Amino acid sequence: MKKLSSVLITLLFMLSMLASFTAGVEYERGDVDHDGNVTVADVTCLIDYLLQGTWPEDPVTPPEAHEWVDLGLPSGTLWATCNVGAESPEEYGDFFAWGETMPKKVYNWGTYSLCNGTFKTLTKYCTASYYGTVDDKTELDPEDDAAYVLWGESWRMPTVEQMRELIDNCNWGWSTQNGVQGNLITGPNGYSIFIPAAGYINASTHNDAGNAASIWSRSLNSDRTFEAYNIGFNPAMVETLSSARMLGLSVRAVRAQ
């Protein structure tokens, strides 16, 4: 029994030494599970190895849940491949009032969370007292940004400047992808994204689906504080627009910089 115990002790010591070096990375001696601490859990790992031959792997970083494309834009902005709420480029995804982070059934001033029922009673993002409580905020805070809240801190809704850059530096061509109408946007480097013609929602009516699209920016129109900027397009035009904040529009995210 003493001989067996001595062998086990020797094996445990050797394994603890080996566990300090894995794939060229040095860990604290005895930190078998590579969690940064030497604890009873490390002993358990060693026993599992002796009895079953299993060995803990280094933690693996989970894959990015959402894809993006580098279009070769001057700013280096990376655009998502699909709308927030969609799982593929041609899906419409969800619709959001500006500054809200969840879709809903009715989009009007009565249901808009950043006012008290009318466009003259704004409670946040207001630059003129005529429209409500002035705070002079002109860009969405992260907690009011649908991309940030729903996709994580690596994502934001684009600024109006990023939208203008997308218009000015890319080729926009009306196209059909998997039977869905929309715009194929090709950057200076030849890579593309597709934005479906998802339309928009006013009150409970879905308008212009298949014919046009509007994509929110995170930028307020400080001259008309009840409106915010967006990209609007149809087969004949693409431009930055300013639309009532209570409308339900699509969101296409960009990687946070």
Domain range summary for the chain, segments of one domain joined by +: 2-52, 68-255
Tokens 């928009």 locate to 200
Lowest mean pLDDT segment, chosen from 19-28, 85-94, 121-130:
19-28
Query: In whole angstroms, what is the distance from residue 75 CA to residue 38 CA?
Result: 46
Reported as a single tens digit per residue, the pLDDT across 13-34 is 554 544 444 434 444 555 655 5
- pTM equals 0.76
Q: What is the pLDDT of residue 53?
A: 61
Tokens 């490390």 locate to 42
Q: Length of the chain, please?
A: 257
Residue 22 in tokens: 């894995």
Q: Kindly state the average pLDDT of the residues 55-61.
A: 51
Q: Kindly state the average pLDDT of the residues 213-226.
A: 97
Reported as a single tens digit per residue, the pLDDT across 188-204 is 999 999 999 999 999 99
Reported as a single tens digit per residue, the pLDDT across 150-207 is 999 999 999 999 999 999 999 999 999 999 999 999 999 999 999 999 999 999 999 9
Tokens 């934001």 locate to 156
Q: Is the dihedral of CA 33, 36, 41, 46 positive or negative?
A: positive
Parallel, antiparallel, or unpaired for β 213-220 and 68-70?
unpaired
Is 50 exceeded by the pLDDT of residue 4?
A: no
In 3D space, the residue among 143, 149, 123 whose CA is nearest the CA of residue 245 turns out to be 123
What is the full DSSP assignment across 198-240?
Answer: -BEEEBTEEESTTT-EEEEEEEE-TTSTTEEEEEEEETTEEEE
Three-state DSSP class for residue 22: strand
Q: Kindly state the average pLDDT of the residues 226-236.
A: 97
Is 70 exceeded by the pLDDT of residue 257?
A: yes
